[in-house]
Amino acid sequence: MNKPNGLLEITMENMLEIYAKTKLTDFCGIGRKIEDRLNRLRIYTPLELHNTSLDILIKEFKDVEGHFLKI
């Protein structure tokens, strides 16, 4: 994201703006398979993932992964 070093600090102030303009797979730990499962839940963006309840994520991904994905 933040060329040339590729690091971008996500703060409370810029979080929603960044989530709205990035892809799910831009985040560490979200590859194609996880993205496909999120898409089946109608989650297509990091902002939608952020707005998804933890209960839904735990139901789909179990406890540890559900908590990991709650961004």
Considering the domain boundaries, does residue 18 fall inside one? no
Task: Record the pTM.
Answer: 0.80
Considering the domain boundaries, does residue 16 fall inside one? no
Domain that residue 55 falls in: 29-69
Average pLDDT, the chain: 90
**How many structural domains compose the chain?**
1
**Region at 42 (left for phi over 0; alpha for psi -120 to 50; beta for the rest):** left
User: In the prediction, which pLDDT does 69 show?
Assistant: 93
Question: Average pLDDT, stretch 50-56?
Answer: 95
Judge whether 24 and 49 are in contact, CB under 8 Å: yes
Question: Average pLDDT, stretch 16-42?
Answer: 92
Question: Average pLDDT, stretch 43-64?
Answer: 94
Is the pLDDT assigned to residue 2 strictly greater than 80? Answer: no
